[in-house]
Structure 1
Amino acid sequence: MKVVVAIDSFKGSVSSFELGNFIENGIKNIYPNAEVKKIPIADGGEGTVESLVEGTGGEFIDVSVNGPLMKPVLARYGIMGDNKTAVIEMASASGLPLITKEMRNPRKTTTYGTGELIKDAIKRGCREFLVGIGGSATNDAGIGMLQALGYKFLDKEGEILGFGGEILEKIVEVDTSEVMTELKECRFLVACDVDNPLYGPNGASHVYSRQKGADEETVYFLDSCLEKFASFTKDKLQKDIGDLPGAGAAGGLGGGFVAFLNAELKPGIEIVLEKVKFEDAVKGADFVITGEGKIDFQSIMGKAPVGVSKVCKRMGIPVIALAGGVADDAGATHDHGIEALFSVVNYPISLKEAMDPERARIFVENSTEEIFRLINVCEKKFK
């Protein structure tokens, strides 16, 4: 029997890598000779760096960069086992948790630190980039990131502008004379699981900036700034990003990536599965085990388990999903290739207790063992 384990982390509890080991133990308690292939995965958000680095034998890089308010923070990114692909979560350098609630101000916050991570990876020889852009503290359309890479944004007097979303309305020219020449050799895949345009009622500012500290006046001001920035990129770069689905992700960072770095925006799980060569790995598998901390109706909207199951459905491989919790509306995932859903929590317990790593290990191993006991019985019965 061949079983492939491709499960997202139970966030705040155990990692994708750890879950793979727990599931393997449960399977081998029933099928000692089973071939179990473990592929750590994530959907482009939290855990993506760890999954792809651990899954490919890569390395982690810790770098001091400028945080959202240009104060030093220690950020981590990864280089995959091919030694040329960098995996970056922008939140590690420019994320909301890096500043206190009282200090949040999307007029001032910048993605500069994210650019510093890219710059560091380029200097180490990376030319392929996978960038997750969830959890930002910013609304600057990625100009901070671009500034770190050598771009200079100028106002009508020809003066170099500073940082933050508030400068977007003042940009009339861009100086590229000091941009890193290596950028021409780089390819950027951006994990983007929202389809918000850059500006407007469904744009970055109206939908996301309040949680980043914006009051109502600031929301409308920043939306206007993004609209002016879209006009600038259309006029100067011939890049129309105003209505581009996903351009509004991470305070417009998605749009900035497309306009200046020719990035491709794709659902995170699609990028991750492509990077780990998932289709090749599951060929010949009898079962695939997937899952995440909670499975519900939203899981069909770009989450890791359904990304896995869609591939497997096309290949005719049955998928079993494990989760800490399975919501009443989780049955919608059956239409997307998940054959069976199981909650690993099998008796009343507090959330804190359930998330204890050792308790999670016991739950996952025991649940997996029981599932494969049933498979074993059916195999014998209907052989």
Structure 2
Amino acid sequence: MRVVVAPDSFKGSLTAADAAEAISDGLASIRPEWRLDICPIADGGEGTLDVLLRSAGGVRRIVPCTGPTGEPMTAEIGLIEQGGTAVVEFARAGGLSLVPPHLRDPLQTTSFGVGELIAAGLDCEVDRVIVTLGGSATVDGGCGLAQALGCVMLDERGRPLARPLVPSGIMRCRELQPAGMVERFTDVSVVTAVDVLNPLLGPHGAAAVFGPQKGADASGVQRLEAALDRWADRVESACGRRLRDEPGMGAAGGAALPLVAFADAAIVPGADLVFSMTRVAERVASADLVITGEGCLDGQTLMGKGVGSLARLAKSAGVPCVAIVGHLGRGYEGIASMFERVATLARSDDAPGEAEREAESRVRQAAAELAGEWAG
């Protein structure tokens, strides 16, 4: 019996690698004869850097940078493929998990530090940069990121705007000079790996859909939408292309916009990128069972997320897929049929935070129970 163990992270509880280890330990305790293929997955959100480094090898570099609320910090980037490719995970310098709940205000958060991480990768003389866009605290359209990479924003008097620029200040941008950023990407290819395919603006855009998750109230969402609209005007005027409606442009609060405009970045689904680099399809095709997992199984799982993409892949290969999840969220009914079985960790009598604190032991127990019951 060959089993592919391929969970995503359980946000706030377990990394994908930790979840894979807990599942493997549970399975091996009951079915030591099973051959386990450990394959943590990601979809461009938090944990993607670790997954790619685990698969491709490479080295980590610690980089001084700016956090999402402007504080100095350090974050890691990865160098893979003999140092020819830099991997930058947006969430490392611009992630929602970096901002305490009482400070979450996307009108004031910035992607500047992510630009600093990209710049550090470019300084390593790489040929390619992969930027994974997910788990962000920002809805700044990538304006901070662009500033860090050499874009200059001018006010109505032709004066450079302060760095880092945040959404509340975007309306003061009258002109954008991108030459410095364009020059940085000469002879360098860029891939942005996204975990959602939303456009930049409108009812399905970055502000309307993700602003509230990052701390914006109804008024804040309106202000963010206006700021992104103004920023898109400036970027599109500078690059000569309409980009705001492209799928994925709303990921990470619009961070792909300047990368596509001034670095000619390609937008790809993060799950597709990770699966290709970790040979997931090949490994699933030769398996008898796939076990995956994530913190919440809900209606978004099939919308480009890693677990949903894996379930589709397993179904097309005729391989049964089982999910171990923290809890079931809104719309999970639409994806439950993709799985042979779904085990949940949450219990009705849990105290607040109890399931998260016990995630590792509960995942291990769920895997052991699955192994004991599995008759395939």
Q: Which TM bucket (shorter chain)?
A: 0.7 to 0.9
The equivalent of 1:368 in structure 2 is 367
Per the alignment, residue 189 of structure 1 pairs with 192
- Quick one: which amino acid aligns to residue 364 of structure 2? E
State the alpha-carbon separation in 1 of the partners of residues 331 and 221 from structure 2.
34
Matched to 2:46, the amino acid is E
What do the CA deviations read for 1:145-171 (whole angstroms, capped 9, x no partner)?
122222223445543333233235533
Q: Over residues 12-49 of structure 1, what are the superposed CA-to-partner deviations in whole Å (9 max), with x where a residue is unaligned?
A: 22322122223223333444343211111123222222
SS in 1 for 2:257: helix
Q: CA deviation at 1:241?
A: 1.7
Give the match for residue 282 of structure 2. Answer: 280
In 2, the alpha carbon distance for the partners of 1:327 and 1:224 equals 31
Give the Cα–Cα distance (whole angstroms) in 1 for the partners of residues 209 and 284 of structure 2.
Answer: 38
Q: Secondary structure at the match of 1:342?
A: strand
Amino acid at match of 1:171: R
Change (3 A) 1:251 1:19: closer
How far 1:206 moved relative to its partner?
Answer: 4.4
Shift in alpha-carbon separation, 1:31–1:224, aligned structure 2, 3 A: closer
Q: CA deviation at 1:50?
A: 2.4
Report the Cα offset of residue 210 of structure 1. 5.8
Shift of 1:330: 3.5
Amino acid at match of 2:271: I
* SS of match in other structure, 1:300: coil
Q: Which TM-score applies when normalising by structure 1?
A: 0.83
Distance 1:231 1:290, change over 3 A: same
Which of 1 and 2 has greater Rg? Answer: 1
User: What's the counterpart of residue 75 of structure 2?
Assistant: 75
Match of 1:340 in 2: 341
Distance 1:297 1:348 in 2: 25
Q: Give 1:175-324 correspondences, 5 Å limit.
A: 175-177=178-180, 179-195=182-198, 197-209=199-211, 219-324=221-326
Note if contact 1:291-1:304 (Cα within 8 Å) is conserved in structure 2.
no
Q: Greater shift after overlay, 300-309 or 229-238? A: 229-238
Q: What is the deviation of 1:323? A: 1.8
**Taking structure 1 as reference, are residues 286 and 218 closer, same or farther at Cα in structure 2, changes over 3 Å only?**
closer
CA contact (8 A) 1:59 1:81 kept: no
Paired residue secondary structure (1:255):
helix
- Residue in 1 aligned with 2:114? 114
- Partners of 1:279 and 1:44 in 2: CA distance: 18
Quick check: 1:3–1:35 contact (8 Å CA) kept in 2?
yes
The percent of aligned pairs where both chains have the same amino acid is 34
Deviation at 1:278, TM superposition (A): 1.0
Post-superposition CA distance 1:288-326 (Å, at most 9, x none): 111112323332233322111111112221111112334
1:12–1:136 Cα change, 3 Å: closer
Matched to 2:341, the amino acid is A
Note closer, same or farther for the CA distance 1:281–1:64 as it changes in structure 2 (3 Å cut): same
SS at match of 1:298: coil
> Quick one: distance in 2 between partners of 1:155 and 1:278?
49
Question: Separation in 2 of the partners of 1:267 and 1:293?
Answer: 20
CA distance in 1, matches of 2:101, 2:23: 39
Show structure 1 runs of 5+ residues with no match. Answer: none
The answer to whether the Cα contact below 8 Å between 2:146 and 2:181 also exists between their aligned partners in 1 is no
Q: Name the TM-score, length of structure 2 as normaliser.
A: 0.84
Equivalent in the alignment of 1:142 = 142
SS in structure 2 at match of 1:235 = helix
CA distance in 2, matches of 1:91, 1:188: 16
- 280-289 vs 122-131, greater mean Cα deviation: 122-131
Which position in structure 1 is the counterpart of 2:19? 19
Q: 1:155 touches 1:173 (CA, 8 Å); kept in 2?
A: no
Indicate how the Cα distance of structure 1 residues 53 and 168 shifts in structure 2: closer, same or farther if over 3 A, else same.
Answer: farther
CA distance in 2, matches of 1:352, 1:100: 16
Change (3 A) 1:229 1:169: farther
- Aligned mates of 1:66, 1:345 — CA distance in 2: 36
CA RMSD of aligned residues (A): 3.2
Q: Distance in 2 between matches of 1:47 and 1:347?
A: 29
CA apart distance, 1:331: 4.2
Query: Could you tell me how far 1:120 is from its partner in structure 2?
Result: 0.8
| Count of matched residue pairs | 373
Q: After the TM superposition, which of the residue ranges 303-312 and 181-190 deviates more from structure 2?
A: 181-190
Q: Indicate if the aligned counterparts of 1:154 and 1:175 stay in contact, CA closer than 8 A.
A: no
Deviates more, 1:109-118 or 1:79-88: 79-88
SS in structure 1 of the partner of residue 153 of structure 2: strand
